[in-house]
Amino acid sequence: MISGLVAPVLGASPASAATVCTTTPTIDYTVQVCAEVPDGVLSGTVTLGATVSVWPAAGKVAPGVKRLSFYFAGRYLLTDNEPDGSGRYTMTWRTDRQLDTTGTLRVRAKLVDDDMYDAKTTATIANGVTTPFTSGRSFSV
């Protein structure tokens, strides 16, 4: 597995986004998953993006991408089943509904052969939210 930070492709994501890619070679194909995350501390509503590339080995056929899921600090955020016209999977995330914290942002691609590949980066959320929300509502039966 090869992992690293690469510059965003011009026009593929906002100028203030960092792209972290993980490349994994297998016997039949090579997979590259890239997570696009805004630089700096996340606050308010942010757009997260990801791309998945699969290259077949000589004489092989590469499987397609079934879906891509987003996670933060081990918690599921969203699954995108279809990339947009540029091949990016995206989600809009309201970080103001999260406690201020630092954690791992992970994008996980599931291919049609059911193998999964990740790209991970550290992200910090800061919106001034330091205590969990409680509604004050009660329910009785």
Rounded CA gap, 56 and 71, in Å?
27
What is the CATH code for 2-125? Answer: 2.60.40.10
pLDDT of 17 > 80? The answer is: no
Pair of tokens at residue 44: 């308010």
pLDDT band of 11, cuts 50, 70, 90: very low
Tens digits of residue pLDDT in 80-119:
999 998 999 999 999 998 999 999 999 999 999 999 999 9
pLDDT of 14 > 50? The answer is: no
Q: How much is the pLDDT for 16?
A: 58
Return the domain boundaries, the chain.
2-125
Tens digits of residue pLDDT in 56-75:
999 999 999 999 999 999 99
Please tell me the pTM assigned to this model.
Answer: 0.80
Longest dimension (CA), the chain: 64
Q: Average pLDDT, whole number, for the chain?
A: 87
73, 101 contact by CB (below 8 A): yes
